[in-house]
């Protein structure tokens, strides 16, 4: 019989609903207790999902719990993940691994020393959209990829998040920490590791107004740049121009486009799991549409709209698959896909983007990671209910 791993959740905020919904899809975990620095948030979460809430110290000492799910804010990821590992628990954190590279390096080292698994979001690259693109690229369908573009641009999280302050802080704020992990992880999955990066930034606004929740109408200070333009050279020679911005009302550009010597490919939203991959092999030809809506991790699975854009009935959202795949790998004693080396490499690129924008210099990426293996239907089916 399939073992169900008992999970302790630390950080009972906005994204928690998505991970509780993941109980419906994956067969190997159950969140049984929760904790938060803010007791009221833990209490509310426990009541909503009919589980127990305890203190952070208690959850870390709980013998029943084998894995900590760390859904705290980015600046707390390091400290919570470190405490979890030192308490002998595997840990799976939301993105990014940490805010500073040195902290990320320490976490990966501790996990290795203690022979524990450290996992990290995003897991969206395991979805139908990015995996379909990966499958086509591995077949060299557009030949050798030369360059491409990627963009995430919207007006900012203040419109739909009731507590958006951390997203605009000097430390841990800005679009590179927030959305960079989705784009960079998807690109590393498609192209392999990065070699160097150059970047410039704009600090466009001084204040934002909270658009939702009890603090609606309150002005908050913007302490960080909110738009970055970066150029990333990958080890395989591909150059990507990446725009990450909290300053754009709307746009019609594609999330990721790759140009090869035999064709062009448009890759769906790396923040989500589904969407079509589009392919053109000839100038002016009709784009061929590779749909993913019949794939296990590509079909729309949300019926009702929540306050969050990700939770809407147009989306395939299987967040939690990275945790389920990590558990599968613990049991099979193999390397998981959303692993520490991958998230550390992504954190290194994030650091490079920030540093290059500050210094005006090219930043070389020192960490290495392997391109995660293609996620096979057999593996997916073994963790799906
Ligand atoms: N909100 C989204 O749509 C979304 C989507 C994908 C990923 N994420 C990621 O998920 C994480 C959480 O985001 P969120 O939107 O749920 O944030 P949130 O602010 O709504 O919730 C975070 C929770 O963590 C708690 N917390 C903060 N520091 C803590 C600490 N040191 N120890 C224990 N608890 C602590 C806070 O009290 C809060 O309840 C972030 O890393 C974010 O990037 C969010």
* Domain architecture of the chain: domains with CATH: 126-298+340-364 (3.30.360.10)
Whose Cα sits closest to atom 2 in ligand 1? Answer: 15
Burial of 319 (0-12, 13-18, 19+ CB in 10 A): buried
Distance 19 CA to ligand 1 centre (A): 12
The mean pLDDT value of the chain amounts to 96
CA 80-85-88 angle, 5° bins: 130
DSSP for residue 173: -
Q: Name the pLDDT band for 311 (thresholds 50, 70, 90).
A: confident
12 C-alpha to ligand 1 centroid (Å): 7
- Residue 211 confidence (pLDDT) above 90: yes
Q: Indicate which residue's Cα is closest to atom 8 of ligand 1.
A: 15
Residue to substitute in 9, 13, 321 for testing ligand 1 pocket (most ligand atoms within 8 angstroms of CB): 13
Give the CB-side neighbour count of residue 118, counting CA atoms within 13 A: 30
- Residue 12 φ then ψ, to 5°: -100, 60
Q: How confident is the model at residue 2 (pLDDT cuts 50, 70, 90)?
A: confident
Instruction: Write the pLDDT tens digit of every residue in 278-298.
Output: 999 999 999 999 999 999 999
- Torsion on CA atoms 92, 96, 100, 105, rounded to nearest 10: 40
pTM (two decimals): 0.97
pLDDT digits (tens, 9 = 90+) for 354-376: 999 999 999 999 999 999 999 99
| Mean pLDDT, range 267-283, rounded to an integer | 97
Instruction: State pLDDT tens for residues 189-203.
Output: 999 999 999 999 999
Burial of 102 (0-12, 13-18, 19+ CB in 10 A): exposed
Sheet with 145-153, edge to edge strand ranges = 288-290, 277-280, 263-267, 256-260, 145-153, 239-245, 227-234, 194-202, 363-364
Q: How does pLDDT run across 82-139, given as a tens digit for each residue?
A: 999 999 999 999 999 999 999 999 999 999 999 999 999 999 999 999 999 999 999 9
Ligand 1 close to Cβ of residue 12 (< 6 A):
yes
State if residue 72 touches ligand 1 by the CB under 6 angstroms criterion.
yes
- Residue 306: pLDDT over 80: no
Tokens, residue 131: 């995996």
The pLDDT of residue 216 is 96
Query: Which pLDDT band, with edges at 50, 70 and 90, does 160 fall under?
Result: confident
Question: pLDDT confidence of 172, banded at 50, 70, 90?
Answer: very high
Binding site membership of 124 for ligand 1 (Cβ less than 6 Å): no
Any idea which of 2-11, 45-54, 90-99, 312-321 has the lowest mean pLDDT? Answer: 312-321
Mutational test site, ligand 1, from 8, 9, 12, 15, max ligand atoms within 8 Å of CB: 15
Q: Cβ(9) to ligand 1 under 6 A?
A: no
Residue with tokens 């605009």: 168
Report DSSP state, residue 371: P
The residue among 368, 129, 97 whose CA lies nearest residue 234 is 368
Q: Is the CB of 33 under 6 A from ligand 1?
A: no
The rounded distance, in Å, linking the Cα atoms of 363 and 345 is 13
């Amino acid at each position: 019989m399939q073992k169900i791993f008992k999970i302790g959740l630390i950080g009972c905020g906005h994204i928690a609903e998505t991970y509780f919904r993941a109980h419906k899809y994956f067969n190997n975990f159950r969140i049984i207790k929760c904790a938060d620095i803010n007791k009221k948030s833990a209490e509310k979460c426990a009541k909503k999902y009919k589980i127990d809430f305890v203190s952070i110290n208690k959850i870390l000492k709980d013998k029943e719990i084998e894995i900590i799910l760390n859904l705290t804010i980015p600046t707390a990821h390091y400290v919570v993940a470190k405490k979890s590992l030192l308490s002998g628990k595997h840990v799976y954190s939301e993105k990014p691994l940490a805010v500073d590279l040195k902290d990320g390096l320490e976490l990966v080292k501790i996990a290795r020393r203690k022979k524990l698994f450290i996992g990290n979001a995003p897991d969206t690259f395991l979805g139908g959209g990015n995996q379909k693109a990966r499958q086509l690229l591995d077949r060299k369908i557009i030949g050798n990829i030369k360059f491409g573009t990627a963009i995430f641009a919207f007006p900012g999280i203040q419109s739909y998040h009731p507590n958006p302050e951390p997203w605009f802080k000097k430390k841990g704020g800005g679009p590179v920490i927030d959305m960079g992990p989705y784009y960079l992880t998807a690109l590393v999955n498609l192209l392999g590791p990065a070699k160097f990066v150059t970047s410039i930034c704009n600090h466009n606004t001084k204040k934002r107004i909270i658009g939702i929740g009890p603090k609606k109408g309150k002005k908050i200070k913007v302490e960080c740049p909110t738009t970055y333009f970066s150029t990333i050279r990958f080890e395989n020679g591909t150059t990507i121009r990446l725009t990450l911005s909290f300053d754009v009302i709307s746009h019609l550009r594609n999330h990721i486009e790759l140009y090869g010597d035999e064709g062009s490919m448009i890759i769906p939203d790396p923040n989500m799991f589904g969407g079509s991959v589009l392919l053109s092999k000839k100038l002016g030809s009709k784009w061929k549409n590779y749909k993913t809506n019949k794939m296990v991790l590509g079909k729309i699975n949300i019926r009702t709209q929540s306050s969050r854009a990700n939770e809407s009935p147009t989306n395939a959202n299987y967040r939690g698959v990275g945790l389920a795949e990590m558990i599968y790998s613990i049991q099979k004693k193999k390397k998981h896909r959303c692993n520490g080396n991958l998230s550390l490499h992504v954190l290194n690129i994030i650091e490079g983007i920030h540093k290059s924008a500050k210094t005006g210099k090219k930043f070389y990426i020192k960490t290495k990671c392997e391109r995660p293996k293609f996620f096979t239907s057999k593996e997916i089916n073994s963790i799906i209910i």
